[in-house]
Amino acid sequence: MEQLTQMELTHVEELLSMEALAVKKYKLYSEQCKEKEWIPLFQEAMNQHQQRIKQLINQLRKHDGKETRKH
């Protein structure tokens, strides 16, 4: 795969930062929430943002040539 440009890397870095911040916020919301029915919603949102972080990292690995291959 082609290497990413510096601008593309900067955008991915920004996305990773935003996703990490969202994880922190939803974790805090779920810990401080007094309405028990909202807690699973915050936890699900946190999990979705964690999954996006993993996806972004996997994409970076593919473009960097460090993708792990299963044989």
Enumerate residues 6+ apart whose C-beta is below 8 A from 56: 12, 15, 16, 19
pLDDT band at 71 (very low <50, low <70, confident <90, very high): very low
Asked if residue 24 is part of any domain, the answer here is no
Asked if residue 43 is part of any domain, the answer here is yes
Asked if residue 38 is part of any domain, the answer here is yes
Contact 19, 25 (CB under 8 A): no
Asked if residue 9 is part of any domain, the answer here is no
Enumerate residues 6+ apart whose C-beta is below 8 A from 49: 19, 20, 22, 23, 26
Q: How many domains does the chain have?
A: 1
Q: Return the residue matching tokens 């040539």.
A: 65
User: Considering only 3-7, 10-14, 43-47, which range has the smallest mean pLDDT?
Assistant: 3-7
Asked if residue 17 is part of any domain, the answer here is no
State pTM to two decimals: 0.82
Domain span including residue 37: 31-64
* Other CB atoms within 10 Å distance of the CB of residue 26: 20
What is the Cα–Cα distance from 18 to 7, expressed in whole angstroms? Answer: 17
Asked if residue 11 is part of any domain, the answer here is no
Asked if residue 69 is part of any domain, the answer here is no
Asked if residue 8 is part of any domain, the answer here is no
pLDDT in tens, 15-49: 999 999 999 999 999 999 999 999 999 999 999 99
